[in-house]
């Protein structure tokens, strides 16, 4: 084909625009590069101070030092998950070796039936390990973990029990069969197990659990209850309360985040439009909330200090002139929205834009640590459990995990 002079100029300009590095950056605003550069520095230092494979970095203590936990803690899967994401981004085998070490020391949990957190613990570690290495022994460990998680399923209730029986904050209610909104996240392990074994049982349990959650945890405005307590004999709901939120009828920010992420993932695995519709409404409650700050990093609960909401735990508002944020919720939601935006038709653009706004906030100096600070975690200003007086305005290993996941999703968008 013979090119005219004008065509040549147009082609030259087009090639220049496409290949210019600045433009590629504009697409994702250089956020993945910024976050992963910091992750390399911070995690390099973290590995220098964390050498015991039974001490998993989790957060900072009240005195400002690093708080690590043993392999049975619910957060154990996130540190190897952080390392796997870093390996995925850099392709550097140094990170792969570390990821393998920190993953493999969690193995005993494949028989753990003491709580519902196995999805977090095993899928964020071994799930990423299997995805990135194809090592068949990891697949077997994941299947055994799914079997253990299913031991907490009661067909009468149609849900996986989150915690063993315990009392509510006011001591007045015994939670016989507490199921918490967070539990949606553990279902991904079950979908995986069905796919690799061909056995529908795991998926059927996951779908039933999601249906019950949709029915019993979600209010008519698509905000969420944290804890639903069931009667194990009749399967009926006995109470709807909170454990980590402000009050029973308020909306705990991270609970809403787990719900948005969880229903988006269940839609991915089932293609059932009921779950997509639910994820969209949950996301809209969050994004359109009058109490969501302009930087889109939520307060730890959407209704803190609001009239009509009464905490039944010991709360002294005078101790907190500024209501603490929970940046971990924003990290989870930003990752979820990047996925949801691909399923949500016309609303997709709006969700992607919101996710990028959140990631911009998280990547700003207000929330992203300076190298060598923040106990070598990435994200600052998270809240673990305010009512317990624990982990207020601290880094949390799972905030880093969902932040890095969101950056990878943005990079490949």
Q: Could you list the residues that contact ligand GLY (CB under 6 A)? A: 182, 244, 254
Catalytic residue among 70, 73, 82, 117: 117
Enumerate long-range contacts of 278-283, CB under 8 Å, 24 or more apart. Answer: 278/214, 278/218, 278/222, 279/336, 279/340, 279/343, 280/340, 280/344, 280/347, 281/222, 282/218, 282/222, 282/224, 282/256, 283/333, 283/336, 283/337, 283/340, 283/351
Q: Which is nearer to ligand GLY, 110 or 254 (CB)?
A: 254
Contacts (Cβ under 8 Å, ≥6 apart) of 107: 141
Which CB sits closer to ligand GLY, 276 or 379? 379
Reported as type and span, the H/E element at residue 381 is none
Cβ at position 352, least distance to ligand GLY in Å:
25
Cβ 301 to ligand GLY, closest distance in Å? 12
> Residue 384 CB, nearest distance to ligand GLY (Å)?
6
Does residue 214 contact residue 278 with C-beta atoms inside 8 Å? Answer: yes
Catalytic residue among 82, 182, 301, 400: 182
- When the beta carbons of 254 and 380 are compared against ligand GLY, the nearer one is 254
- Please identify the residue of the shown chain whose CB is closest to the bound ligand GLY: 182
Q: Report the distance separating Cα 260 and Cα 402, nearest Å.
A: 13
Minimum Å gap between C-beta 334 and ligand GLY is 16
- Active-site residue, 182 included: yes
> Least distance (Å) from ligand GLY to the CB of residue 117?
7
Is residue 117 part of the annotated active site? The answer reads yes
Structure token digits, residue 4: 């005219």
Closer residue to ligand GLY (CB): 244 or 375 = 244
Q: Which is nearer to ligand GLY, 87 or 225 (CB)?
A: 225
Give CA–CA dist 309/327, Å, rounded.
23
CA atoms within 13 A on the CB side of 373: 10
User: Mind telling me the catalytic residues?
Assistant: 117, 182
């Amino acid at each position: 084909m013979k090119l005219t002079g004008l065509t040549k100029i147009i082609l030259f300009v087009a090639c220049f625009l496409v290949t210019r590095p600045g433009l590629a950056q504009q697409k994702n605003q250089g956020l993945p590069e910024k976050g992963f550069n910091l992750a390399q520095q911070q995690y390099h230092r973290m590995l220098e101070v964390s050498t015991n494979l039974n001490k998993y970095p989790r957060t900072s203590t009240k005195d400002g030092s690093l708080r690590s936990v043993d392999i049975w803690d619910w957060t154990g899967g996130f540190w190897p998950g952080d390392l796997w994401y870093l390996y995925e981004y850099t392709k550097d085998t140094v990170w792969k070796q570390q990821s393998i070490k920190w993953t493999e020391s969690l193995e005993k949990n494949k028989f753990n039936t003491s709580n519902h957190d196995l999805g977090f613990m095993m899928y964020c570690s071994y799930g990423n390990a299997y995805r990135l290495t194809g090592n068949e022994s990891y697949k077997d460990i994941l299947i055994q973990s799914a079997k253990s998680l299913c031991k907490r399923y009661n067909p009468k209730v149609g849900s996986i029990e989150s915690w063993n029986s315990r009392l509510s904050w006011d001591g007045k209610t015994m939670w016989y069969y507490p199921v918490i909104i967070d539990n949606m996240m553990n279902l991904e392990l079950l979908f995986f197990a069905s796919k690799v074994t061909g056995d529908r049982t795991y998926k059927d349990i996951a779908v039933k659990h999601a249906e019950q959650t949709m029915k019993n945890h979600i209010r008519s405005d698509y905000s969420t209850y944290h804890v639903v307590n069931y009667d194990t004999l009749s399967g009926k709901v006995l109470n709807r309360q909170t454990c980590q939120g402000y009050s029973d009828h308020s909306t705990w920010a991270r609970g809403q985040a787990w719900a948005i992420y969880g229903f988006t993932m269940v839609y991915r695995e089932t293609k059932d439009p009921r779950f997509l519709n639910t994820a969209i409404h949950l996301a809209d409650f969050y994004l359109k909330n009058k109490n969501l700050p302009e930087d889109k990093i939520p307060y730890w609960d959407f209704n803190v200090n609001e009239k009509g909401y009464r905490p039944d735990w010991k709360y002294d508002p005078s101790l907190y002139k500024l209501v603490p944020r929970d940046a971990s919720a924003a990290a989870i939601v930003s990752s979820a929205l990047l996925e949801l935006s691909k399923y949500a038709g016309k609303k997709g653009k709006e969700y992607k834009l919101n996710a990028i706004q959140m990631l911009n906030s998280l990547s700003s100096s207000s929330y992203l640590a300076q190298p060598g600070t923040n106990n070598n975690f990435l994200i600052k200003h998270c809240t673990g459990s305010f009512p317990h007086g624990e982990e207020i305005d601290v880094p949390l290993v799972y905030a880093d995990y969902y932040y890095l996941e969101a950056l990878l999703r943005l990079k490949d968008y």
